[in-house]
Amino acid sequence: MIISQVMIFFLLRQLHNPTNLLILSLAVSDFLVGLLLMPAEILLTEACWFFGDHMCALNYVVDFIITSSSVGNMVLISIDRYLAICDPLQYTNKVTLDRTKICVCLCWICSVLYNSLILNNFLRQPHGQNSCYGECVVILNNITGTVDFVFTFISPITVIIFLYARVFVVAVSQARTMRSHIATVALQRSVKVTAKKSEMKAARTLGVVVVVFLICICPYYSPTLVGQDIEDSSSSSPFVVWLLYFNSCLNPVIYALFYPWFRKSIKLIVTLQILEPDSCNAGIM
């Protein structure tokens, strides 16, 4: 389904908008979790790591980059929904496709630079924290763990919760306004109301994505809350790690349940109608 999301965005011009570009970026990180991180985690459940220190280091660098980029994508999605609901008149001027592309690129670049920095000591001596031969482990000390906890968990989560709280308040206010004026709405006003309903539905759907994300990521950072080092290895709780990865499997399911256009797009791909001429202009919204 994740691959279908990528295909849908590139093949259907109707979906080329900032919000769907952010969803695409999140889908890419979800795909990489399934392609790279889950197989590596299965290997880490074995008694020994058979691929050497350099592959061990590469595995954790990729793990941290993909995880933090997912967090960054969630923040960007929250900002997008906040502007769409709370400042709809200026939304199209502030949020353009080109600006969104720049933000997505910066999200991934910053993720690479940030995680390369906090894992600097580990990259120089990937075997330095192993307690025995054949082990693959990275341990974030109190300082590094606290920095990662603040920048990858506390700060993004605070921004996400604050923005969605604002979205919820504005959405409730708009709903009350629409109900009170529904009898006197003109045709032009009806179009605006429908547009607002569409934006709020998108906000609710992405809100579900964010809530599921918070449920999946919170247990991973729980050791830092009690002052312990964060350890990623075969000895870490498998449930906590797999719960973090499982979030990437849930996102496409949420899209399929809440977005009718997503289901229509999947049907176009499965039935091979996407190969027909002018399929990129198909009306699915």
Q: Is the pTM of this model over 0.75?
A: yes
Q: pLDDT tens digits for 3-25?
A: 555 555 555 566 678 888 888 88
Q: pLDDT tens digits for 84-96?
A: 888 888 888 999 9
Q: pLDDT tens digits for 187-209?
A: 444 444 444 555 566 667 767 87
Q: What are phi and psi of 228, to 5 degrees?
A: -95, 160
What's the pLDDT at 165? 82
Q: Which residue has the higher pLDDT, 285 or 206?
A: 206
Alpha-carbon torsion (45, 48, 50, 51), positive or negative: positive
Q: Which residue has the higher pLDDT, 170 or 113?
A: 113
Domains and CATH numbers, the chain: 2-281 (1.20.1070.10)
